[in-house]
Structure 1
């Protein structure tokens, strides 16, 4: 009876079931320790069927990265209403990011920890996702900066570094929040928003912080 049910299940549904099992296994066990036997058992299918659908452990891992990267970027974009003020857009984007990573900790482990440490092909997949998110955040910040400076031609490169730093901070904070009891997605988002918006506010008001002048010591 089990074999009959397997045949009747649409391929796309069965494949997603395998990917669900793989994300959970890779996220909790790590890429190297995870086995195709474990993944097949968790998915409720035979190991040959996993290979038939997804070819190899490497291809399965790549498919997991691509699916979860797309889900994260879609969630962040969907969380932002471009008609709202700049601070609200950034807040909503951060909240969408932390909500998604909190709800899918195994997926975040795959993207943030596993994919980056097991070879260039995997790392490149995550880098592509990260570039998309950085570009999106850059867009959010540059709109606010242009409005504050009344300069519609302010170049994106002026705030690109801020977006890069903000995304890096969000990634680290999400990893910390997922293993720290009592830290909600909203709290994580508020922590980063308070940290980032104060600095952004000063910058957009024309009050950037400047490093002290270097002290040149005499050489004896």
Structure 2
């Protein structure tokens, strides 16, 4: 399975989601390749933190940009259980290459941001366009970096409800799992860790676990 994380809007939390998803898959016993297709190479920075802290890498990773991304991802998919591709915050050749070969794309969106809502419509149009040639493509919209501030909950709930009522194509759905803005994501990054590795229960870990379960169920249907 090839899973890509896309959104041409920067700051939507793509890299954090891609890293934590790769760690979750690896913890599930899967052999994972994480492809950093963002020219900023944010994943490389995080994994360097990890190595510098003397921690093993639970999955393989590679930085890859350019026109051969789709071809290389296809080739790697025969050698690994799953591929996770992190793309940059713009409509790029890497994003479109990833869409061509993906089974599922995750679109993390800050629901309460008007800018993100506008970009989401463009991303859904792009998924529809690519689906003509990649007929297996599915997309999961994720309410990401949601505020835990009660004052913003009403706005968040209204737009989420609106999305649930929109007649989306059968290959696109809104995830039931909401990923909230939590300091723990930032805190563990400097150790090169994911929230999945934390001991004991924590809400961020629970949310990633829930999203992963939902992703697997969506992939089967």
Which TM class, normalised by the smaller chain length?
under 0.3
Larger fraction in strand: 2
Structure holding more helix per residue = 1
Larger CA Rg, structure 1 vs 2: 1
With the length of structure 2 as denominator, give the TM-score of the two structures.
0.25
- TM-score normalised by L of structure 1: 0.25
